[in-house]
């Protein structure tokens, strides 16, 4: 997968240590949203990480860029303002058929950035020869289902049934498939 992906408005590139601030903000927003839904805290939703923890996460993410499974920061092309991240991960799937992952700061919602970034990652994955991508989305997450639907993902009841997860209070995990 390429180290940098560009669209008409966005740059999906590499991580830097100074991304720790906005990344910590993103985790804090995720944690607040989970608490509003009444979800129990998890390691991913346990509040805003401190600077050292956020920097460690960003450095770990930086190591993925330029690999077959990159997770890119997404920035506005004109200003470089950070919006979120998008890329491929093993997640609940496999390296041969990875998951598409995306998460954006709340201020970036509603502008089409997630769809634009994810479409660019899907195109790069197709060019790289991946036969299929997956997206696992919590049943309550209508905005993520909308993005996945615009990209051509379809819900896969057989895959959802084949990968049951215990009810941990966060809602059912629904598998969505995109054959490339």
Domain of 114? 5-179
Q: What is the reported pTM?
A: 0.90
- What average pLDDT does the chain have? 90
d(CA 83, CA 137): 20
The answer to whether residue 43 scores a pLDDT higher than 60 is no
Q: How confident is the model at residue 37 (pLDDT cuts 50, 70, 90)?
A: low
Work out how many domains the chain is built from and give that number. Answer: 1
Q: What CATH number should be reported for the domain holding residue 105?
A: 3.40.630.30
d(CA 63, CA 10): 21
DSSP summary character for residue 44: T
Side by side, the strands of the sheet bearing 173-179 are 5-6, 10-12, 71-76, 82-89, 99-104, 132-138, 173-179, 154-155
pLDDT of residue 173: 86
The answer to whether residue 91 scores a pLDDT higher than 90 is no
d(CA 24, CA 124): 28
């Amino acid at each position: 997968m390429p180290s940098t992906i560009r669209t008409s408005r966005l740059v999906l590139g590499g991580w830097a240590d100074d991304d720790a601030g906005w990344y910590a903000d993103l985790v804090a927003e995720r944690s607040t949203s989970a608490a509003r839904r009444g979800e129990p805290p998890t390691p991913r939703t346990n509040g805003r990480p401190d600077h050292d923890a956020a920097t460690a996460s960003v450095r770990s993410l930086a190591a993925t860029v330029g690999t077959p499974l990159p997770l890119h920061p997404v920035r506005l092309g004109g200003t470089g303002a950070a919006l979120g991240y998008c890329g491929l991960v093993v997640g609940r799937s496999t390296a041969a058929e990875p998951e598409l992952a995306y998460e954006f700061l709340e201020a970036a919602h509603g502008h089409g950035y997630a769809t634009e970034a994810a479409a660019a990652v899907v195109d790069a994955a197709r060019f790289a020869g991946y036969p299929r991508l997956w997206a696992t989305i919590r049943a309550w997450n209508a905005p993520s289902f909308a993005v996945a639907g615009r990209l051509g993902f379809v819900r896969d009841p057989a895959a959802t049934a084949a990968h049951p997860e215990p009810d941990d209070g966060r809602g059912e995990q629904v598998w969505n498939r995109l054959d490339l």
